[in-house]
Amino acid sequence: MEHGRVKRTQLSAKTGMNYERCMKYVNTLKMIKLVEIVSNNDYGYVVITQAGKEITNLLDIISM
């Protein structure tokens, strides 16, 4: 959310998950419309949707 979009491989590295496991999570989040995958210049970027931002904000409030 803070960095806009991120390449799928970079997301995997930043989360410390192997690529396949990370993509399973991303695909689940995509199915429930919290993220989307945007293609640009032969790269796939993961982008958080407005619904994803709202859920993230609610979770931040709950965890306070």
Domains of the chain, residue spans? 5-62
Question: Could you report the per-residue pLDDT of 11-27, keeping only the tens digit for each?
Answer: 999 999 999 999 999 99
CATH class for the domain made up of 5-62: mainly alpha
Give the C-alpha separation, 38 to 54, whole Å.
20
Residues of the chain with pLDDT below 70 are 1
What's the whole-model pTM score?
0.83
| Residues 17 and 53 sit within 8 Å (Cβ to Cβ) | no
